[in-house]
Chain A
Amino acid sequence: MQDDSKSITPDRTISPPSVLGEGLTFASVTDKISTIALSKRTPLWWFVGAGVSFSLAMLLFYTIGYLVLTGIGIWGNNIPVGWAWDIINFVWWIGIGHAGTLISAILLLLRQQWRTSINRFAEAMTLFAVASAGLFPLLHTGRPWLAYWMFPVPNTMGLWPQFRSPLIWDVFAISTYASISALFWFVGLIPDLATLRDKSKNQAAKIVYGMLAMGWRGSARHWHRYETTTLLLAGIATPLVISVHTIVSFDFAVGVIPGWHATIFPPYFVAGAIYAGFAMVLLLAIPLRKLYGLEDYITMRHIRNMSKIMLATGLIVAYGYMMETFTAWYSSNTYEEFMIKNRFFGPYAAQYWTLIFCNVVAPQLLWLKRVRHSIAAVFVVSLIVSVGMWLERFIIIVVSLQRDFLPSSWGMYQATKWDWSMFLGTIGLFLSLMFLFVRFLPMISIFEIRGILPQAEVKESEG
């Protein structure tokens, strides 16, 4: 870390808005962040927010219970639309989960110091989003109690998964991604957990944090191993950022359905995922910094940087839409042409044009400095993008399946209340975990912030 800051020094002095606020000291940083987790006083808004989230999470558990007892017929899926909100939500959540790893791993490797303030909770967000996402492929199967068959479990019948299926690739990609993300997140927490252990006055908290800190004492050896581990994990996680959503996109690209069967899908999906991920980080960061008074830590520079990434990935996504349409025209393939026409003018045209507005038109506002500088505007744009990315998956999945090859089999799709409860429930689960996280763990990496304080730099140069 210390090495990183050296190289970044010239940049920081040039760039006018700093990564951190003025006048922070080692002690104030530690106090500020650790107090949030250790404080006995929980703010009222936390109870309100957590209460709503927990209720939604309960709705999720109720839905899951009913779903497993009754069958996925409680959703609106049918033939031809065999996948609908289940897979839409899955892809949406997985997409959101992308930003965390991207920030932690890729930006770490690229030595982007500004990532430090946001990487911790972005990583947490990743984990929770992946947890929400993971529910869907499991529960969308007709017989979820047998879903373990998708893992290569040695068995007496000698049955093995069918490795040509992208769903099997998914299983591996997502489980790997989830493990690496969890590991990365937890390893990154260890020094801060030790800080919490040390600062905690409560005996129970001391024990819990102590156990989680795994005997961290901050020795040079510890730090050395920590650095090595982090770099290794970052190295492993970096290709995963690309691979997970690439493989998710294979679920569609490998299919023969017009609207799915496209070579552009992998990059287009990855860009979409980063796009959605940053939108979600912004959606979380903006209220958090306000509520906890973390303006010094998550500064305007963070918000502006993330806006720029959103703008860039948004443009890639827009390019994807354009190329889909172009390819349909250029291929002269009846089915492809019809697929695009059906998107443009079919029964779900309203959803398609909303998607275009959300993902292509609205983010263009971010070109304007004034918009990038307005917290409220960025928040609204992020919200729109999140909706747009959900709609994108709706268009890809439902609208492609709805009218494929034989007109005799065309059908319509409408979500039921259970689709809603499942989706809202996972939002509840996600937010519940987020609320628990911000309450009991340091949402900003204390030691890394300390590392990029000007004081640390001085110390470093002296050394």
Chain B
Amino acid sequence: MGELVQLRRIAKPSFEDGGQAPLDPQSSIPDPRTPNPDPQSSTLDPRSSILNPQSSILNPPSSILDPQPASRIAAISARLEAKRGKHYWRSLEELADSEEFQEVLHREFPENATEWNDPAGRRKFLKLMGASLALAGFAACTRQPAEQILPYVRQPEEIVPGRPLFFATAMPLAGYAIGLLAESHEGRPTKIEGNKDHPASLGATDVYSQASVLGLYDPDRSQSLTNLGEISTWSAFLGAIRPQVEAQRALASQPSPASQPLAGGGGLRILTETVTSPTLEYQIKTLLATIPTAKWHQYDPAGRDNVREGAKLAFGQYANTVYHFDKADVVLSLDSDFLASGPGSVRYARDFANKRRLSEEKHEMNRLYVVESCVTSTGSIADHRLPVRASEVEGVAREIFGKLGTGQPGASNKPEGEKWAEAIANDLDKHRGSSIVVAGDSQPANVHSIAHVMNGALGNIGKTVIYTDPVEANPVDGNSSLRELANDMEAGKVDLLLIVGGNPVYDAHADLDFGERIRKVKLRIHLSLYNDETSELCQWHVPEAHYLESWSDARAFDGTVSIIQPLIAPLYSGKTAHEVLAAFMNEPERASYDIVRDYWMKRYAAGGQPPPIKAQAATAQKTASGSGSSAQPATSGQAPQSATGGFEAFWRKSLHDGVVGKTAAPIKPFAPTGILNSRSAFSTPLPDLTQFTQPPPSKPGLEIVFRADPTVFDGRFANNGWLQELPKPLSKLTWDNAAIISPATASRLGVGKDVNGLATNKIGNIGGDIIADEVELEYQGRKVRAPVYILPGQPDDSVTVHLGYGRTKAGRVGNDAGFNAYAIRTSDAPWFGSGLQITKTGTTYTLAATQIHHAIDTEDLKARDIVRSGSLAELKKNPTLAPEHTREEHGAGSLFPKWEYKDYAWGMSIDMSSCIGCSACVVACQAENNIPVVGKEQVARSREMHWLRIDSYYKGSENNPETYFQPVLCQQCEDAPCELVCPVAATVHSSEGLNDMVYNRCVGTRYCSNNCPYKVRRFNFLLYQDFYTASLKMMRNPDVSVRSRGVMEKCTYCVQRIQKAKIESQKEDRQVRDGEIATACEAACPTQAIVFGNINDPASRVSKLKKEERNYSLLGELNTKPRTTYLGVVRNPNPELEHA
């Protein structure tokens, strides 16, 4: 990443001076806004058009084809030729459906290519190649309107083949954006990095953004617009909806007769996910103004309704909360997984880790208390963690609040709760203005309200907690919004339903019966990435453009706006939400580029304020009378430069930086009424907590907790193989969700395997399989079958189920993985509820886990010194954190003289104190290094391919163990056991200390893996790579070889990045600078736990970290001399609770 910064510095002045545009936009991004009925815009093979949109001018299909061989391509071409003029194909798919074309697409080599040894044959082959390129790139037959996107770093004129460009963009997830840089190789986005300038990223990423590249190239994505399941066209779609929209418009413009009951909303409904996009907001609101009877519903299955409602409860209006964990010494989390989920989590993790990190100068740490109902990453790294049932969190919160001196009655029914509350209250009290109380998204509004009041009482507001206006375009309670829609559908009030993104048929609450009720809507339209469960029930399905294919905008957790710019033309002629809404506003030809740019032009003209919403009645009338094609707006991309000069600079800068300047929401002085001055006295009476309904009395019996899945989220990533195979942070399960219960509850239910009176998961026989008992979960009369996973630290009598599984129409990857927890999730208890019944079914289910042993303080394992840990106080006594028995490293005991690494010596330091187990590094590594997905059966056989894994270990009681995360990648041993045993020298040591792997030389004896004490080597037991799916070929990193079967592979510290930096440095005749090389894992890490660099340079960050006393080598006594070393875990427990 350092390199990017540096390059940006070079690139920046060139356009800030008003110089040349850094990049000729035509050459980098094909035209995503060409009118769709014209098939030329749909890119069959995006490579060709990206490489050079003009290519087909150079090679017009008719001229290059040799008619003599009567090749099929020629036939197609001839057909196309014949169809020129007004007879366009109705869609590319129609063309693509023809047998000949299919064959051209699917043949590995063009016909006759096998004759290429023969000189004559080779010539023909080249001709055919040219022809197929030309065929795929007809795009250039149309005029290319200019759409400019700006590269992040590089000089404008040069696209050097083989050198990637970086473009700033942003990924929206459930509405909120995270700013990213997308690495583009000759027009193909291959890798996502964080954007250092974006407040939600600061250069880091989360798993979802890392995996989004695979989402883009997913061959299962919806590839065509369909009507009643038949492939159709955009123009047919426009033709079909226009009368319907006009009817609605007419209905709305009529004075409502008494007989027409419009009070409940008119016939047109729009259902979106959470919207933060200013442009989309403007569009929807304009549409609503034009058709006042229309209604806008928002729903996110894993949305933040409680957060919004909690703020409303505390402040009387919706507000957005932004936390400054970098200023907080004490943090109390009330069931909040703020480090690993939610809009600002990447940023929060960075801030939190910075405040926590120890260094030579900094000897203080923050302290984290977590009260939680599930086992989360945040809870796992807490200094004190109190597992309680979800319904008891409010009681604990009230009790702590009570102990703060408010006199409010405590309601915790945990015996340890009182002591806890006392200690936390004391600690919070000592850190007024530098503490944070944060409530979890799944806790009810009351708890959020208590958190706000506590932050107010502690004087944190304005310091560590700030409030702004909501970031959402239209904050609503999604739960009730969806319920209203469902009821209206039931009542037959909905004529036309436009579903923009989302998959409500799958993920709506079970009691809303969405799948049944949606059938009562006359016309249903679904815009989505996949032809999914909802699409199946809609007459029209419009394929959505992936964010890497779209022009759009979105806001981050603090309100900062990013313009989303596409990296590639839509692979499958997908449409953005903007384009679909434009169609509803009689602007069917408008491309999202124009829509977004026009919006920002207006906003720029208005001095940065959102432009006023005006009904578009006049336009509508005009365009409705005219033909659709004349609806091209006057302000399209070709606006005169003089008029938009200032805007142009603003636009370019916004695109380049990835953030629109000064758009962070301004701080609003919200405060809950009443501030606590001291522990006993109030300046103003505290808000009567009874205004919040009393917590529901905790009912005995089992509770169920619903959570978004840590990898597939709410189900939208179910077809993403990287995320499916990404082990869940603690359970290390892949490809499945499970009913997670505590060991004690498992014992009581008689599930799992009993080991000395303790229930544990039953390990299978084939590698990483867990033979889980299946149970039937019955909740509010609905039933679902689920395998049980026993997780230490889970509160007793509480069952956590993760959403997002059990998809039936996700695609080849996601179908039939796991069970559908939505089937028992109801709108009155979306996050948790009591009264769950569990019945053992007597059957078992195989789960695939990448780690099946987590305990490290059993008698056998204590001496292994795998994780060094201790409290801050212990660290002062024993700065190395080494256990007493530690064997002195007999490092010098070699007969051979030590090899001298003269130039560079690469090394890595991993601070386990900072690691939160979020797994962004794992997916980043997978994306960077072309690591294949192997599937559940192979994971169960313990053959997953991740080069980097995050081990999780437990210490202490199984009810609430201490948890440690340890990222393990190739340790790059100086005396590597693997190198010694390879019979063909396929793994050898480099002069810079890297343990290189020569894939081409490997014959696959697996001896190296056997002899690796860290078991970081991965073997291609079968052909795991998909060499045949065209779209996946585009995804791969061209700098890393794609391994076939029978070959061993492993981490190389991203040697391709090292080499690139070395080449750059050699050109400038200098050493590689510290920080210039960031390995993929390091770059992605939100907490900067991973640091890579040259250990020969004593000033490098990694050298300094390795000099710290708590630096240690994993299995150091084996004398492997690893280059990767770890910093022991330091926790900062409260002495008051130490002996609890």
Q: Would you call A101 an interface residue if the criterion is a C-beta within 8 Å of the partner chain's C-beta atoms?
A: no
Instruction: Knowing A73-B1022, A78-B1021, say if A254 contacts B1004 (CB, 8 Å).
Output: no
| Cα(A72)–Cα(B938), bound, Å | 13
Say yes or no: B1002 contacts A142, CB within 8 Å: yes
Q: Would you call A309 an interface residue if the criterion is a C-beta within 8 Å of the partner chain's C-beta atoms?
A: no
Q: Would you call B1011 an interface residue if the criterion is a C-beta within 8 Å of the partner chain's C-beta atoms?
A: yes
Q: Would you call A458 an interface residue if the criterion is a C-beta within 8 Å of the partner chain's C-beta atoms?
A: no
Say yes or no: B1003 contacts A408, CB within 8 Å: no
CB proximity of B370 to chain A, nearest CB, Å? 24
Say yes or no: B1014 contacts A78, CB within 8 Å: no
Q: Would you call B1045 an interface residue if the criterion is a C-beta within 8 Å of the partner chain's C-beta atoms?
A: yes
Q: Would you call A204 an interface residue if the criterion is a C-beta within 8 Å of the partner chain's C-beta atoms?
A: no
CB proximity of A421 to chain B, nearest CB, Å? 17
| Cα(A162)–Cα(B968), bound, Å | 28
CB proximity of A403 to chain B, nearest CB, Å? 8
Q: Would you call B106 an interface residue if the criterion is a C-beta within 8 Å of the partner chain's C-beta atoms?
A: no
Closest to B1007 in A: A167
1/0 per residue A384-418: CB within 8 Å of B? 00000000000000000100111111111110000
Closest to B1120 in A: A256
| Cα(A273)–Cα(B1048), bound, Å | 31
Say yes or no: B1046 contacts A142, CB within 8 Å: yes
1/0 per residue B933-959: CB within 8 Å of A? 000001001110000010111000000
CB contacts (< 8 Å) of B1010 on chain A: these are 80, 82-83, 255, 257, 401
Closest to B977 in A: A256
Instruction: Knowing A82-B1010, A159-B985, A408-B851, say if A76 contacts B766 (CB, 8 Å).
Output: yes
Say yes or no: A78 contacts B942, CB within 8 Å: yes
Say yes or no: B1005 contacts A141, CB within 8 Å: yes
Q: Would you call B674 an interface residue if the criterion is a C-beta within 8 Å of the partner chain's C-beta atoms?
A: no
| Interface hit among B554-562, B644-652, B679-687, B856-864 | B856-864
Say yes or no: B1045 contacts A142, CB within 8 Å: yes
The 8 Å CB contact of B1003, one of A141, A251, A254, A409, is: A141
Say yes or no: B977 contacts A255, CB within 8 Å: yes
1/0 per residue B1045-1089: CB within 8 Å of A? 111100000000000000000000000000000000000000000
CB contacts (< 8 Å) of A159 on chain B: these are 984-985, 1001
Q: Would you call B768 an interface residue if the criterion is a C-beta within 8 Å of the partner chain's C-beta atoms?
A: yes
Q: Would you call B749 an interface residue if the criterion is a C-beta within 8 Å of the partner chain's C-beta atoms?
A: no
Say yes or no: B1003 contacts A80, CB within 8 Å: no
Say yes or no: A142 contacts B982, CB within 8 Å: no
Say yes or no: A257 contacts B1011, CB within 8 Å: yes
Q: Would you call B75 an interface residue if the criterion is a C-beta within 8 Å of the partner chain's C-beta atoms?
A: no
1/0 per residue B971-1003: CB within 8 Å of A? 000000100111111000000000000000111
Say yes or no: B866 contacts A406, CB within 8 Å: yes
Say yes or no: B984 contacts A405, CB within 8 Å: no
| Interface hit among A143-151, A175-183, A277-285, A359-367 | A143-151
B side interface size, CB within 8 A: 62
1/0 per residue A409-433: CB within 8 Å of B? 1111110000000000000000000
Closest to B984 in A: A149
Instruction: Knowing A149-B984, A160-B985, say if A77 contacts B1021 (CB, 8 Å).
Output: yes
The 8 Å CB contact of B766, one of A165, A171, A334, A414, is: A414
CB contacts (< 8 Å) of A78 on chain B: these are 766-768, 941-943, 1021
Instruction: Knowing A79-B1019, A406-B1013, A407-B855, say if A143 contacts B1047 (CB, 8 Å).
Output: yes
CB contacts (< 8 Å) of B1014 on chain A: these are 405-406, 409
CB proximity of B882 to chain A, nearest CB, Å? 15
Say yes or no: B765 contacts A412, CB within 8 Å: yes
CB contacts (< 8 Å) of B860 on chain A: these are 334, 337-338, 341
CB contacts (< 8 Å) of B1007 on chain A: these are 82-83, 165, 167, 251, 255
Question: A-B pairs with CB below 8 Å: how many?
Answer: 192
User: Which residues in chain A, 50-80, are within 8 Å of chain B measured between CB atoms?
Assistant: 70-74, 76-80
User: Which residues in chain B, 212-268, are within 8 Å of chain A measured between CB atoms?
Assistant: none
Most buried by B among A71, A79, A147, A166: A79
Closest to B885 in A: A334
Chain A: interface residue count, which band? 35 or more
Instruction: Knowing A78-B1021, A161-B985, say if A141 contacts B1004 (CB, 8 Å).
Output: yes
CB proximity of B1079 to chain A, nearest CB, Å? 21
| Cα(A414)–Cα(B981), bound, Å | 25
CB proximity of B1050 to chain A, nearest CB, Å? 11
Say yes or no: B1005 contacts A167, CB within 8 Å: yes
Say yes or no: A80 contacts B943, CB within 8 Å: no
Say yes or no: A140 contacts B1005, CB within 8 Å: yes
1/0 per residue B1017-1043: CB within 8 Å of A? 111111100000000000000000000
Q: Would you call B853 an interface residue if the criterion is a C-beta within 8 Å of the partner chain's C-beta atoms?
A: yes
CB contacts (< 8 Å) of A380 on chain B: these are none
| Cα(A143)–Cα(B984), bound, Å | 12
1/0 per residue A71-114: CB within 8 Å of B? 11110111111110000000000000000000000000000000
Say yes or no: B764 contacts A143, CB within 8 Å: no
| Cα(A108)–Cα(B853), bound, Å | 54
| Cα(A82)–Cα(B1012), bound, Å | 11
The 8 Å CB contact of B983, one of A77, A82, A171, A413, is: A171
CB contacts (< 8 Å) of B1002 on chain A: these are 142-143
Q: Would you call A168 an interface residue if the criterion is a C-beta within 8 Å of the partner chain's C-beta atoms?
A: yes
Q: Would you call A41 an interface residue if the criterion is a C-beta within 8 Å of the partner chain's C-beta atoms?
A: no
8 contacts between A and B (CB under 8 A): A76-B766, A78-B766, A79-B1017, A142-B1046, A159-B1001, A407-B866, A408-B854, A413-B766
The residues of B with any CB-CB pair to A shorter than 8 Å are 763-769, 851-856, 860-861, 863-864, 866, 938, 941-943, 949, 951-953, 966, 968, 977, 980-985, 1001-1007, 1009-1011, 1013-1015, 1017-1023, 1045-1048, 1114-1115, 1118
Besides the known contacts A79-B1018, A347-B763, A411-B768, 16 further A-B residue pairs in the complex with CB atoms under 8 A apart = A78-B767, A78-B768, A78-B941, A78-B943, A80-B942, A80-B1015, A142-B1005, A142-B1019, A149-B1003, A161-B984, A335-B864, A405-B864, A408-B851, A409-B1014, A412-B764, A412-B765
